Amino acid sequence: MTILHLFLSSSRNSVKFAALKTLNKIANVHSKFLEANFADFEALMNDPNRCIATLAISTLLKISSEANVDRILK
């Protein structure tokens, strides 16, 4: 998890995308482990690469509570 967290701040888009894709798969089963990375996913929502931004939003929706979903969608 620590390495994937470091990969999210990489300057290479392919590394960020691979880390997000892996974390997205982990969110399907163990969403509680990803709550600590919530701020990192929010920062990636505004990434210029649309694939990364979309995957970050998808992951956030998987790990968010109902109260946060409205804020994420805005």
pLDDT tens digits, residue range 2-60?
Answer: 898 889 888 999 999 999 999 889 888 887 777 777 788 888 888 999 999 999 888 88
At 7 the pLDDT is 92
33-40 CB contacts, 8 Å cutoff, 24+ apart: 33/1, 34/59, 34/63, 35/63, 37/5, 37/8, 38/63, 38/64, 40/5, 40/8, 40/9
**Domain count within the chain:** 1
Residue span of the structural domain in which 39 resides:
2-73
CATH number of the domain within which 52 lies: 1.25.10
Taking only the tens place, the pLDDT of each residue in 58-71 is 888 888 776 677 77
Number of C-beta neighbours around residue 57 at 10 A:
16
For residue 6, the one-letter residue type is L
Confirm whether pTM is higher than 0.85. no
| Top-confidence residue, 25 or 72 | 25
